[in-house]
Amino acid sequence: MSHSEKNDIFDQLFSVLCDRQKNPSEKSYTASLFAGGEEKICRKITEESGELVEAAFESGDGADDHLIHETADLLFHAMVLLVQKGLSLDDVREELARRFGISGLEEKSSRSHS
């Protein structure tokens, strides 16, 4: 996979997710997530988060591949939630850019505590 393909895969996937939301198909897993709303999507994110944490503690043959697989699952479902909420990858990029170069402790303390 070339460098440009790696950079574009998130945008490509996000575009497909937006299309699935606008043009649902009965055979689409993604469309079924959108049909279930935020509750179904968030349940999947919770499930995938747990699986990612479990994979992080594995060792031996296939452990790295499993961790990568679970990370991809979590990112996929997080992107579905962004689409569901009408947000974009650019929103996330802007937030990460805002944080770039700021100490993690500084950034956390700057958040408003509601």
Is the domain 3-110 a CATH 3.30.559.30 member? no
**How far lies 62's CA from each of 58, 75, 101, in Å?**
9, 20, 34
Question: Which are the contacts of 108, defined by CB distance < 8 A and separation ≥ 6?
Answer: none
Interatomic CA distance for residues 47 and 38, integer angstroms:
14
Predicted confidence at residue 11, as pLDDT, reads 95
Single out the residue of 16, 43, 42 nearest to residue 30, CA to CA: 16
Q: Are 51 and 113 in contact (CB under 8 A)?
A: no
Q: Is the pLDDT of residue 92 over 70?
A: yes
Q: What is the mean pLDDT of the chain?
A: 90
Band the pLDDT of 2: cuts 50, 70, 90.
low
Q: What is the mean pLDDT of residues 87-96?
A: 94
In the chain, where the domains are located: 3-110
Q: Kindly report the pTM of this predicted structure.
A: 0.84
Q: What is the mean pLDDT of residues 65-75?
A: 98
Secondary structure element (H or E) that encloses residue 80, with its range? helix 63-84
Q: Is the pLDDT of residue 6 over 60?
A: no
pLDDT one-digit tens code per residue, 102-113: 776 776 677 666
- Identify the pLDDT of residue 110: 72
Q: If you average pLDDT over residues 55-61, what whole number do you get? A: 97
How confident is the model at residue 1, as a pLDDT? 58
